[in-house]
Amino acid sequence: MTSLFSERRIVSVVIFLLAVGLVLSTFGLEFADLGGAFSPMFFPRIILFILLGLAVLNVGIDMLAVRVAQPIEVLPVSVIAVAFLAYVLLLVPLGYFLSSTGVGAIILFAVGLRNPLQVVLVPAAASGALVGLFNHVLKMPLPTSPFFWWI
């Protein structure tokens, strides 16, 4: 039996609506007329458009896929939601690297990954790569940690 309102479909539509809202929120903001890549909205807007494109693909795939109805698992979704809330609150005090590595590890654990090496190394490598890109290559520093200020 297929259901029109499955967990995956609802979550994919919510992610799409959030991406639309975030993209729309970047327009109409007043900054110094620096133009192009010097605008503080240049890189975030690119990332948000990529997120919007991926959300459109996700909605399309989830709407076309025929799945058997399964019970909704509330615990992983709740853990991820709380992790994102903690991420927003801890980003400035703990810095980008620690906050992003922590939330990445929590998400991987919540979705069922149990290999401790992967749960720690994948988020640390992704966060480290972005810190290297923004802090050292683009010279656009991310929030720094009081413990790892040299990253």
Distance CA 151, CA 143 (A): 10
Domain match, 112 and 62 both? no
Residue 10 has, within 13 A of its CA and on its CB side, a CA count of 10
Q: Which residues are within 8 A (CB) of 97 and not within 5 positions of it... i.e. 6 or more apart?
A: 127, 128, 131, 142, 145, 148, 151
C-alpha 96/C-alpha 91 separation (Å) is 6
Of 72, 102, 128, the residue that ends a domain is 72
What is the domain count for the chain?
A: 2
Domain holding 32, by residue range, is: 1-72
Shared domain check, 89 and 46: no
Taking the whole predicted model, whether its pTM rises above 0.75 is answered as no
pLDDT in tens, 90-123: 988 998 999 999 999 999 999 899 999 999 999 9
Pull the structure tokens for residue 104. Answer: 């990445």
90 and 125 both lie in a single domain: yes
Identify the band that residue 125 occupies on the pLDDT scale cut at 50, 70 and 90.
very high
Q: Is the alpha carbon torsion for 94, 45, 20, 12 positive or negative?
A: negative
Based on the domain organization, do 151 and 92 belong to the same domain? yes
AA identity, residue 49: F
pLDDT at 99: 92
Per-residue pLDDT tens digits for 46-75: 888 988 999 999 999 988 887 776 777 789
My answer on whether 77 and 49 are in the same domain is no
Q: What is the pLDDT of residues 16-28, one digit of tens each?
A: 998 898 888 888 7
Identify whether residues 66 and 130 lie together within a single domain.
Answer: no
pLDDT score recorded for residue 31: 61
Residues 77 and 143 in one domain: yes
